[in-house]
Amino acid sequence: MRILTIALVAHDNRKKDLIEWVEFNKGTLANHKLVCTGTTGRMVEAALNQNRRKDNSNIDITLLKSGPLGGDQQLGAMICEGKIDMLFFLWDPMQPQPHDVDVKALLRISSLYNIPTATNRSTADFLISSPLFESDYTPKKKSFSDYLGRSIDL
């Protein structure tokens, strides 16, 4: 089984959903590396490690900045660098975000780099329960050589 680097992000109104999902999938997530933005990361860390302190087997979570403070952009950069395998981003489509352009950019980059992305709990359930989740599946990487090699007229 391949160890995945999984990004977990949630807007304020969706943090409770993500934490419930994380607690339900704790056994599966414990086998992978986790990367989270800001407050979401601290909440995920508390949820995953609350019963593990006795045996010192805490799950390691990389914490980035809060989304509005650049965490979404940090995560997007990690996707571009090939450091993220999967994104679970429970965003709130009903609440305006002060960093809405960053949210859109993150979702665009995850699509561009063909990263499996869940933006709601149902899709998250489907992704984590897929037989491909625990396999050696590697998403096909798109070549951008035509785009990078295009002629530029000045």
Predicted confidence at residue 106, as pLDDT, reads 94
Chain segment 94-148, per-residue pLDDT in tens: 776 766 788 899 999 999 999 999 999 999 999 999 999 989 888 888 888 888 8
Closest of 87, 154, 78 to residue 120, by C-alpha: 87
Chain segment 25-47, per-residue pLDDT in tens: 999 999 999 999 999 999 999 99
Element (H, E) at 18: helix 15-24
Domains (ranges, CATH) in the chain? 5-148 (3.40.50.1380)
Edge-to-edge strand list for the sheet holding 117-118: 61-64, 33-37, 5-10, 86-90, 117-118
Compute CA distances 60 → 28, 107, 138, whole Å: 14, 25, 23
> How many angstroms separate the CA atoms of 78 and 73, rounded?
9
Identify the band that residue 87 occupies on the pLDDT scale cut at 50, 70 and 90. very high
Q: Give the chain's count of helices (H) and strands (E).
A: 7, 5
> How many angstroms separate the CA atoms of 83 and 79, rounded?
6
Question: What is the rounded average pLDDT of the residues 14-34?
Answer: 95
Element (H, E) at 32: none
DSSP-H helix ranges across 25-141 = 26-29, 38-49, 71-80, 100-112, 121-129
Tell me the catalytic residues: 72
Chain segment 43-71, per-residue pLDDT in tens: 999 998 876 655 455 687 999 999 889 99
